[in-house]
Amino acid sequence: MATAKTPRRRRTAEDARHEILAAAQRRLAEGGPEAIRLQDIARDLGISHPTILHHFESREGLMQALARSAIGALNDDVLRAISDPSRGTTPEAVLDRVFETLGGSGHARLLAWAALSDRAPASPRGDTPRPQQLLRVLGDAVHRRMLDEARAAGGRAPAREEADFSVRLVAAAMLGDALMGDVLNRLAGLPNDASVQRRFRIWLARLLDERLRRAVAPARRRRAKR
Amino acid sequence: MATAKTPRRRRTAEDARHEILAAAQRRLAEGGPEAIRLQDIARDLGISHPTILHHFESREGLMQALARSAIGALNDDVLRAISDPSRGTTPEAVLDRVFETLGGSGHARLLAWAALSDRAPASPRGDTPRPQQLLRVLGDAVHRRMLDEARAAGGRAPAREEADFSVRLVAAAMLGDALMGDVLNRLAGLPNDASVQRRFRIWLARLLDERLRRAVAPARRRRAKR
DNA sequence: ATAGCTGCTGACAGGAATGTCAGTATCCGC
DNA sequence: GCGGATACTGACATTCCTGTCAGCAGCTAT
């Protein structure tokens, strides 16, 4: 009754795929993994569910496409957040942005879902292009910066692993945070407001910054352990 | 053919609930959230699926019970892992055990699922007993230890938030790690073997330990920022 | 215009999953 | 042993969801 009868819209195959993926992502982000039903997505878009099958072969096809698209989008967004100098380049600012990007609007939830249902890029299926090593790139950047500072300060060259571990820690923490941040806050008895969130991120940024600095600092009096 | 006909076993209601929950948890941990089907669980246990309905009202009832039981179990396991002095009490050892507990066998996956499908203890439904504040307890412990050390070393008293943030960071990191540790390793270009994993944990433990120590260290030459 | 490619749809098939119910079997207290 | 409470079951009802198919309709090229 509501829809009198829209004359039927025809998209390019690519557009259709995009719209469908977006709708699916919305549903997944809101309602959890079990909320992806072809009929619902179709209704959201005002199309019929066989159309989805037409574009993605099967529900499973849609799911895999969704997982891959999510990872790609995350990659882009994170990279953009990092290398956007217009909003500050201090570690604090960058970290804050990345946290925001990951937490805001379902990126992390999507990733978690992908991991949960083993649809994560477990075995690079050959077709995975280049996003594969986002963290690697970040590790490189951090390491390079450490090297620079070390040279400038006349300190010792830092181990590559130092940079990798830092990046890995932040990544894991952001995932956990985006996924269950509010729960964690509650469990920790912390108030659940934005200012705590921000202070936490700043704290973390400082923590790492300090650590990395000291990792390259010239060895003044290195108290020998034994 | 295989099952000739087992004479029918009768459990106490409580036992039955436990067995069913355990089976459900197994399936969830392995196959992801969509793999919880009453019929499958029933088959695993050699019972009929209406029995599950009998004990849990509905599938949704089972799910909620599962989420709550998971959180309770996690609480117990983590507390046990922490306060088990038989395997070392250094920060490194404790952290390592907790990581192990959380990652090994599905705890984190369960939690993530609960968070994803909004079955997490979002609004304490009144019946939640005491596990609610696990992190709070840990924060207390850390803070107390900091106070002790501060007193022993004659340093300054640390802010409570310092302890809370540390705990929160570790919690988030462990969640993210347990959920996507291997993926993160791959993305970071780190080899995916146990030794890296261990070194990472040790690195993290040291990082925090250092930080906390310095937070309570007597202010020697505190370079004023401005 | 017209033809043809292909995005798109309605109707239907097939199956699977949850939930209901009436009845059975097992354990416990007497 | 007996009776009652209740854990448990088989068969059935219902609902819902994916996937198929034959055909319709919008767009482009010629």
* Contacts with B112 from chain A: Cβ below 8 Å: 112, 115-116, 179-180
Question: Of B51-55, B90-94, B96-100, B178-182, where does the model show the most confidence?
Answer: B51-55
The pLDDT value recorded for residue A41 is 96
Q: Phi first, then psi: give them for residue A108, nearest 5 degrees.
A: -65, -40
DSSP state of A157: P
Neighbours of A84 (CB within 10 A): 13
Q: How far apart are the first and last CA of chain B?
A: 83
CB within 8 Å of B84: residues ≥ 6 apart: B97
Nucleotide D27 C1' to residue A43 CA (A)? 24
Rounded to a whole number, what is the distance in Å from the CA of B2 to chain A's nearest CA?
32
Q: In which residue are the tokens 């849609």 written?
A: A62
* Residue B183 three-state SS: helix
Nucleotide C28 C1' to residue B55 CA (A)? 20
Rounded to a whole number, what is the distance in Å from the CA of A107 to chain B's nearest CA?
12
Neighbours of A90 (CB within 10 A): 11
CA A109, CA A103: separation in Å to the nearest integer? 8
Average pLDDT over residues B31-44: 89
B212: which 2 tokens?
Answer: 């906390």
- On the question of pLDDT at B149 being above 80, the answer is yes
Q: Phi first, then psi: give them for residue A8, nearest 5 degrees.
A: 85, 120
The pLDDT value recorded for residue B124 is 46
* Residue B190 three-state SS: coil
Question: B14: which nucleotide lies closest, measuring CA to C1'?
Answer: D7
The predicted-structure confidence for A99-110, as pLDDT tens digits, reads as follows 888 877 678 888
Dihedral over Cα of B152, B154, B158, B162: its sign: negative
CA A84, CA A12: separation in Å to the nearest integer? 33
Answer for the pair A197, A181: CB distance below 8 angstroms, yes or no: yes
Of B32, B217, B186, B161, the C-alpha closest to A117 is B32
Band (pLDDT 50/70/90 cuts) for residue A175 is: confident
* The overall pTM is greater than 0.85: no
Amino acid at B100: E
CA A222, CA A108: separation in Å to the nearest integer? 41
Band (pLDDT 50/70/90 cuts) for residue B132 is: low
DSSP state of A89: -
% of chain B surpassing 90 pLDDT: 27
The reply to whether residue A171 touches residue B175, judged by beta carbons under 8 angstroms, is no
Helix residue spans in chain B (DSSP H): 13-31, 38-45, 49-56, 59-82, 91-103, 107-116, 134-153, 160-188, 194-216
Mean pLDDT, chain A, integer: 82
% of chain B surpassing 70 pLDDT: 88
The pLDDT value recorded for residue A12 is 94
The pLDDT value recorded for residue A3 is 46
The reply to whether residue A188 touches residue B118, judged by beta carbons under 8 angstroms, is no
B158: which 2 tokens?
Answer: 């640390």
Rounded to a whole number, what is the distance in Å from the CA of A116 to chain B's nearest CA?
5
Question: Of A18-22, B4-8, B75-79, B95-99, where does the model show the most confidence?
Answer: A18-22
Of B208, B210, B190, the C-alpha closest to B98 is B208
* Contacts with A32 from chain B: Cβ below 8 Å: 33, 116-118
CA A115, CA A101: separation in Å to the nearest integer? 19
* Contacts with B134 from chain A: Cβ below 8 Å: 187
The reply to whether residue A188 touches residue B109, judged by beta carbons under 8 angstroms, is no
* Least confident among A36-40, A63-67, A125-129, B200-204: A125-129
Nucleotide C1 C1' to residue B161 CA (A)? 77
Nucleotide D15 C1' to residue B59 CA (A)? 15
